[in-house]
Structure formats: structure tokens, C-alpha cells
Structure 1
Amino acid sequence: MPDVTWEEPFCGEGNSCYRIGVDGDGNSYIAVAGAEAAYLTDSAESLRQLIRDIKAGKADHLLGDE
């Protein structure tokens, strides 16, 4: 795993907690809080757009019924 600096978790309603991180090369990462070893990586702008869409309710169908 690359050396990632993780931010504090962002938690929505229920158990939906995510962390955003960045490595020394400028790559961005997103992971479920507590499972940072299983992450997605992409450009910072792609991950920002993903977060904006989640906050706007466009990805509620992905979050399950918890």
C-alpha cells in the first residue's frame, strides 16, 4: 500500500463513513473508514465529484438499506 495521509472520516447517516487520502505523488484515495487497505484511487477531481454526487443523494441506491 502506498504511503497515504488519510483525513478524518466523513460520516453520513447510519454507518456510511468514508475517508479521503492523498499520497506523495498527488494521487487521491477514498475508502470506507476502518478498511483503508481496500481503497479506490483516482484523480482528485474525480473523487471530489463522487463525493459531491453522494452528498447530493445521487448515489443513495449504492448505500443499501442500513
Structure 2
Amino acid sequence: MKVHLVEWRSLMCRAVTCKVCQKTTWAGCGQHIDQVMPGVPRNQQCAGHVKEKPTGSFWSRLLGR
């Protein structure tokens, strides 16, 4: 039973490639980041990015205008 719990936790957070900077970041619940990122050098870790606020109205964004 304990083995299944450990396997499940390892699936909770995982290393992924950032779509913006192509560096390593994490995906998942956020409670296991310290288990995912320790082997990744600091200069290869994504520091996060500010989300740009969409411009234009809802309809112009929807229609691509």
C-alpha cells in the first residue's frame, strides 16, 4: 500500500518545459516541487512570467480581429 502512495505522489508534480522560455518548470499540485526541481541547475529553471492582459473586446479576440 505504501508503494502505491509513493508512486501516486510522484505523479502529483512533475518537471515540464516552459512554453515561453524553454527552461524547466513544474506542473501539478505544487506540494512536491522540492522533489521535482533539486536536480535542475538554477540557471535552467524558469523564473515565471507575467501574464499579458488581453487587449480588445471579447468579440474581437474571439474572431481574431
TM-score (normalised: structure 2): 0.24
More strand per residue: 1 or 2? Answer: 1
Larger radius of gyration: 2
More helix per residue: 1 or 2? Answer: 2
